[in-house]
Amino acid sequence: MRQHCAEIINKLPSHRLMALDVMRGLTITAMILVNNPGSWGAMYWPLKHAQWHGWTPTDLIFPFFIFIVGMSITLSVNSLRAKGVSDQHILKAGVIRTIKLIALGWFLALFYYNFRDPSFAGLMTSYCNCVCWACYNVSVWSI
């Protein structure tokens, strides 16, 4: 088993940040588990959101994901700048990605909510706004 794991790790590109990849994998796994707990009638408390005050492990998934996105954008922008890509091109790519993600969220919401709920976009819109502002801050302000 160790040899198999060592072979996989050795095949990874050296420019990847393994801790970020592991955190991304754990966060996505937690996201899937929280959204599909098996039975909505008999859920363990860590899989529920806090009512108002306090938090549960479920309430940490979105902030972890936004942290991962911020780190990934920073690493990606630094890599693109090292290749000589202009800040305007980086910002344009970030805005296009944001528009695509919003369109995907609306498309998926069409089948789930049929646009009846005024907040049909849910967290996807919040996520897209975070991505767009992060791309702007990193490319324009060099943060």
CA distance 89 to 87: 5
Which residue in the block uniquely carries the two structure tokens 């646009």?
Answer: 115
CA distance 53 to 91: 37
15 is catalytic: no
Catalytic residue of the set 4, 15, 49, 89: 49
100-108: long-range contacts, CB 8 A cutoff, minimum separation 24: 101/127, 101/128, 101/131, 102/128
Catalytic machinery residues: 49
